[in-house]
């Protein structure tokens, strides 16, 4: 076990003069990284990581992180821009100081003895990306091998994979042909055997892969193409059998552009949502804020050629002629990032995306909106703004920083993917927002509101955050309603709300009961932010508290639950640690249930675990019970 500085010691070091920090830590004078790192952290990082910025991880959690992870975050991750003025030595000093350890060699992977067999065409897979289909229903069809109500009570943990050096697991797994494909915080994409968890191949993307991969058949490749984006806004096309790169395309439109949502593939084209980290860069009072605009790009699946890139804000950002309080220029309009995976409507020749807040004043009419774009060329066809006047960036969390727009929030993005739901009489776009509001829009009437429900008080952590699910009769909306800042006394409604898709009427509500304990689960909350997944009979969903549950989709009764906040022996020889279930949701395929656990961001519980479950027969259950 590597040595670490205690939480109390880290807090003490940050308050002591530098010349006393070595003695306070009980370390010899030669450990320069401690004093250097303490000073550098205090000067460059502490303003955001001391608890004043809820989205920024608190420094007390850093001693649970590997030095490699901290260094990667500053070198080619979320804090790359903030650490740009620091040398490699300085970044390493900060990483060593916070983790309390030096760099360590990576743990060896358990490699499979044989390469995977030839993979079937993508059309035969049960799960083809983030939403399960082009409409983002997140429903697994009864025609494939899915879990039933009678099987769900026998679910048992089959194997666990530990993402090396990770503190969050947010790339939704994709299962095809007995292989699990998943990205990681360190930038590696893994192909794992579904039955055993051994590693078939590893592809190095070069930057964190936050989104779930998708598959497509392309001419001239002997296997389906695995497609995904990375933190540096590059799209990768990789041979799903061999792990070899077929093509890579940079779709960045701005230095802070990134890809958070998963791509969607239809009719041989790839559709890419583009968001950014400029909301965080704006915390620097000397930064000329802001110039990023959210967009959607389209690529040819066979070659990776960029076909078009369509901005959600038509006007290019321009110098407003104003300066902030530190003398930096102001720009606008900006923002409206696209966090979610597009919804594809081939019948109408349209795609739909939701947008986030503006970064500068005045707030754009394209922020917090649903936008319809023509599939052929990306031309915006209509915009339905659901919340006007939302302009915010991270400067607003730092005592009303110089770049905080006058609106100062409320930062209530549409982060969840829209769902195209239809029966014989209705075609509806179902939209969830961090405000706790759910809408049904008419796609044939410029997004006119058909019905509207407010399910929770909402907040920057949701409300409805990362996604919803449907089946033939219900819309399932997970609600977080987390208030880390204690800003409201309104009643919270964390849990799952099942609504009638055509009317918005409540079918049932299953409250997420608080199972947190300050002793056993620090930084815990019962809210539900991750996207759920449905079958005709069941709904699977996870929470900030690490609880994974299976619900009866007709009644909301909990039929099975598992606490992922634990330590597990991983098949790759490491200890996997579960934490909050955030962002991506459960995956059901080939009789298995897969879920990521662990999310280091703000007041969440970090972790690095991919857990795989399968039904266990009666004899096996008796054997397990006797162990």
CATH number at residue 144: 2.40.128.630
Tell whether 556 and 615 lie within a shared domain: yes
Tell whether 521 and 573 lie within a shared domain: yes
The pLDDT assigned to 487 comes to: 66
Tell whether 57 and 153 lie within a shared domain: no
Would the pLDDT of 520 be above 50? yes
The pLDDT assigned to 97 comes to: 73
Would the pLDDT of 339 be above 60? yes
Last residue of a domain, one of 99, 123, 156: 99
Question: What's the CA gap between 76 and 379, in Å, rounded?
Answer: 33
Of residues 626 and 556, the one with the higher pLDDT is 556
Mean pLDDT, the chain, as a whole number?
A: 86
For residue range 402-454, list pLDDT tens digits in order: 999 999 999 999 999 999 998 877 899 999 999 999 999 999 999 999 999 99
Q: Quick one: residue 325, left, alpha or beta (phi over 0 = left, psi -120 to 50 = alpha)?
A: alpha
- In the structure encoding, which two tokens stand for residue 258, read together? 């990134």
Tell whether 27 and 142 lie within a shared domain: no
Question: What's the CA gap between 204 and 191, in Å, rounded?
Answer: 12
Tokens 């549950």, residue located? 549
**Contact residues for 178 (Cβ-Cβ < 8 A; gap 6+):** 116, 117, 193, 194, 195, 590
- 193-222: average pLDDT: 94
The pLDDT assigned to 106 comes to: 63
Question: What's the CA gap between 344 and 272, in Å, rounded?
Answer: 12
- In the structure encoding, which two tokens stand for residue 371, read together? 């936008």
Q: Is residue 33 part of a domain?
A: yes
Of residues 238 and 11, the one with the higher pLDDT is 238
- Among residues of the chain, what percentage have pLDDT more than 70? 84
The pLDDT assigned to 27 comes to: 32
- Nearest residue to 79 via CA among 127, 38, 122, 41: 41
How are strands ordered across the β-sheet holding 199-204? Answer: 174-176, 179-182, 188-193, 199-204
CB 314 within 8 Å of CB 383: no
Q: Is residue 613 part of a domain?
A: yes
- 508-519: average pLDDT: 84
Would the pLDDT of 15 be above 60? no
Tell whether 625 and 538 lie within a shared domain: yes
Tell whether 522 and 451 lie within a shared domain: yes
Residue-by-residue DSSP string for 366-396: TTTEEEEEETTT--EEEEEESS-S-B--GGG
Would the pLDDT of 516 be above 70? yes
The pLDDT assigned to 429 comes to: 98
Burial of 543 from C-beta contacts in 10 A (0-12 / 13-18 / 19+): buried
- Among residues of the chain, what percentage have pLDDT more than 90? 64
The pLDDT assigned to 229 comes to: 98
Of residues 580 and 461, the one with the higher pLDDT is 580
Tell whether 609 and 548 lie within a shared domain: yes
Q: Is residue 261 part of a domain?
A: no
The pLDDT assigned to 23 comes to: 33
Q: Is residue 584 part of a domain?
A: yes
Tell whether 528 and 603 lie within a shared domain: yes
The pLDDT assigned to 10 comes to: 31
Last residue of a domain, one of 99, 128, 153: 99
Q: How confident is the model at residue 41 (pLDDT cuts 50, 70, 90)?
A: confident
Question: What's the CA gap between 550 and 434, in Å, rounded?
Answer: 24
Would the pLDDT of 219 be above 80? yes
* Domain membership of residue 611 as a residue range: 136-170+427-464+467-627
**Contact residues for 31 (Cβ-Cβ < 8 A; gap 6+):** 22, 25
Q: Is residue 520 part of a domain?
A: yes
**Contact residues for 480 (Cβ-Cβ < 8 A; gap 6+):** 456, 459, 461, 462, 463, 464, 465, 494, 525, 527, 528, 529, 544
The pLDDT assigned to 551 comes to: 98
Tell whether 555 and 620 lie within a shared domain: yes
- Cα-based distances in Å from 428 to 263, 449, 475: 22, 10, 11
Q: How confident is the model at residue 70 (pLDDT cuts 50, 70, 90)?
A: confident
Tell whether 35 and 159 lie within a shared domain: no
Q: Is residue 569 part of a domain?
A: yes
Q: How confident is the model at residue 461 (pLDDT cuts 50, 70, 90)?
A: confident
The SS3 assignment for 433 reads: coil
* Cis preceding-peptide flag for 333 (omega within 30 of 0): yes
The pLDDT assigned to 489 comes to: 75
The pLDDT assigned to 156 comes to: 97
Among the residue ranges 56-70, 487-501, 593-607, the one predicted with the least confidence is 56-70
The pLDDT assigned to 103 comes to: 56
Most confident segment among 146-155, 399-408, 458-467, 501-510? 501-510
Bridge partners (DSSP) of residue 506 are: 499
Tell whether 19 and 162 lie within a shared domain: no
Q: Is residue 560 part of a domain?
A: yes
Question: What's the CA gap between 186 and 163, in Å, rounded?
Answer: 8
**Contact residues for 153 (Cβ-Cβ < 8 A; gap 6+):** 559, 560
Among the residue ranges 40-54, 232-246, 300-314, 562-576, the one predicted with the least confidence is 40-54
Q: How confident is the model at residue 20 (pLDDT cuts 50, 70, 90)?
A: very low
Would the pLDDT of 627 be above 50? no
Would the pLDDT of 17 be above 70? no
Would the pLDDT of 224 be above 60? yes
The pLDDT assigned to 282 comes to: 93
Domain count, the chain: 2
The pLDDT assigned to 361 comes to: 96
Residue 452 CB neighbours (<10 A): 13
Q: Is residue 307 part of a domain?
A: no
Q: How confident is the model at residue 67 (pLDDT cuts 50, 70, 90)?
A: confident
Last residue of a domain, one of 77, 99, 121: 99
- 72-92: average pLDDT: 77
Tokens 């509001």, residue located? 437
Tell whether 547 and 477 lie within a shared domain: yes
Predicted structure pTM score: 0.86
Would the pLDDT of 105 be above 80? no
The pLDDT assigned to 397 comes to: 82
For residue range 533-569, list pLDDT tens digits in order: 999 999 999 999 999 999 999 999 999 999 999 999 9
The pLDDT assigned to 625 comes to: 40
């Amino acid at each position: 076990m590597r040595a670490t500085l205690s939480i109390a010691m880290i807090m003490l070091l940050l308050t002591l003069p530098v010349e006393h920090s070595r003695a306070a830590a009980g370390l010899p004078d030669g450990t320069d990284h401690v004093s250097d790192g303490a000073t550098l952290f205090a000067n460059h990082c502490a303003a955001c990581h001391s608890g004043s910025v809820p989205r920024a991880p608190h420094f007390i959690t850093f001693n649970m992180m590997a030095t490699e992870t901290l260094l990667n975050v500053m070198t080619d991750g979320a804090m790359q821009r903030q650490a740009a003025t620091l040398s490699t030595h300085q970044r390493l000093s900060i990483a060593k100081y916070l983790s309390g350890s030096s760099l360590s060699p990576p743990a060896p992977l358990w490699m499979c003895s044989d390469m995977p067999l030839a993979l079937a065409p993508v059309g035969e897979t049960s799960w083809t990306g983030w939403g399960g289909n082009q409409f983002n229903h997140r429903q697994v069809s009864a025609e494939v091998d899915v879990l039933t109500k009678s099987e769900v009570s026998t679910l048992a943990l089959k194997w666990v994979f530990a993402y090396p050096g990770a503190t969050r697991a947010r790339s939704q797994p994709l299962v095809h042909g007995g292989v699990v494909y998943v990205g990681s915080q360190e930038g590696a994409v893994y192909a794992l055997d579904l039955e055993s968890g051994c590693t078939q191949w590893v592809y190095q993307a070069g930057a964190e892969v936050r989104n779930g991969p998708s598959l497509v058949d392309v001419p001239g490749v002997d296997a389906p193409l695995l497609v995904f984006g990375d933190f540096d806004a590059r799209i990768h096309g990789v041979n799903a059998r061999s792990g070899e790169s077929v093509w890579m395309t940079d779709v960045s439109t701005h230095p802070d552009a990134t890809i958070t949502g998963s791509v969607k593939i239809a009719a041989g084209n790839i559709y890419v949502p583009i968001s950014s980290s400029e909301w965080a860069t704006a915390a620097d009072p000397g930064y000329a804020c802001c110039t990023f605009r959210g967009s959607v790009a389209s690529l040819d699946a066979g070659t990776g050629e960029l076909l078009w890139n369509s901005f959600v804000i038509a006007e290019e950002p321009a110098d407003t002629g104003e300066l902030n309080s530190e003398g930096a220029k102001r720009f606008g309009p900006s923002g409206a990032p696209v966090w979610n995976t597009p919804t594809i409507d081939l019948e109408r020749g349209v795609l739909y995306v939701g947008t986030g807040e503006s970064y500068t004043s005045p707030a754009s009419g394209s922020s917090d909106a649903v936008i319809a774009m023509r599939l052929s060329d990306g031309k915006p066809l209509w915009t339905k703004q659901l919340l006007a006047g939302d302009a915010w960036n991270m400067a607003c969390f730092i005592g009303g920083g110089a770049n905080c727009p006058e609106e100062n929030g409320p930062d209530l993005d549409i982060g969840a993917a829209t769902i195209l739901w239809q029966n014989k009489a209705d075609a509806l776009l179902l939209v969830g927002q961090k405000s706790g509001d759910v809408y049904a829009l008419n796609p044939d009437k410029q997004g006119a509101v058909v019905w509207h429900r407010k399910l929770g008080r909402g907040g920057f952590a949701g409300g409805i955050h990362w996604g919803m699910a449907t089946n033939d009769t219900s819309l399932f909306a997970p609600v977080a309603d987390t208030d880390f800042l204690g800003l409201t006394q309104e009643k919270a409604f964390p849990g799952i709300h099942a609504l009638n898709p055509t009317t918005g009427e409540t079918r049932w509500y299953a409250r997420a009961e608080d199972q947190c304990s300050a002793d056993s689960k620090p930084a815990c909350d019962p809210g539900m932010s991750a996207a759920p997944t449905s079958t005709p009979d069941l709904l699977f969903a996870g929470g900030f508290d690490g609880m994974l549950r299976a619900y009866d989709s007709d009644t909301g009764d909990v039929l099975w639950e598992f606490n992922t906040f634990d330590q597990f022996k991983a098949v790759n020889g490491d200890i996997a640690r579960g934490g909050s279930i955030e962002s991506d949701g459960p995956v059901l395929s080939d009789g298995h249930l897969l879920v990521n656990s662990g999310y280091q961001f703000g007041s969440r519980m970090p972790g690095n675990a991919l857990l795989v479950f399968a039904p266990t027969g009666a004899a096996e259950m008796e054997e397990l019970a006797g162990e």
